[in-house]
Amino acid sequence: MHIVNECFRSINDIEAKAERNSRKSPFYKMIYKDLISDSLTEVKKMYSYFNIKFTEDTERHLVKYLENDPKKTKYGTFKYSMSEFGISEERLKREFVVYSNFMSKFTDDVI
């Protein structure tokens, strides 16, 4: 079994136990495309989820980092395709089925 599937089976088990005990999941689900499209908002949501105070100083540092992010300002954008690595969509779906099922609870944008 693919290691990612094993990890997400474990996460599912932990979340199910938390739910049975009326507790919040110890895992925060962040959708990558949301993080990229509105990083500040997504980080604020994560802080809130874990009850961490998001201070003005934190925001100032995060905004400064985002404005100077070398991936955006120095190196540009890289685009990859599965075919470059000899991976088909069918193989990806098969190997990440547990992950896809897990994430489908939170977004429609899953392989």
CB atoms closer than 10 angstroms to residue 69 = 12
SS3 content of the chain, % helix, strand, coil (to 5): 60, 0, 40
Cβ 110 vs Cβ 104: under 8 Å? yes
pLDDT interval class at 75 (50, 70, 90) = low
Residue with more model confidence, 26 or 108:
26
- Give the Cα separation of 64 and 66 in Å (integer): 5
Cβ 31 vs Cβ 106: under 8 Å? yes
Alpha helices in the chain (DSSP H): 3-20, 32-37, 39-49, 56-67, 70-73, 89-95, 97-103
> Looking at the predicted structure, is the pLDDT value of residue 80 above 70?
yes
Q: What is the helix (H) or strand (E) element at residue 27, kind and residue range?
A: none
Which tokens in the block code for residue 10?
């474990």
The stretch 71-95 carries a mean pLDDT of: 78
For residue 93, the model assigns a pLDDT of: 81
What is the average pLDDT value for the chain, to the nearest integer? 83
pTM summary value: 0.66
The stretch 76-94 carries a mean pLDDT of: 82
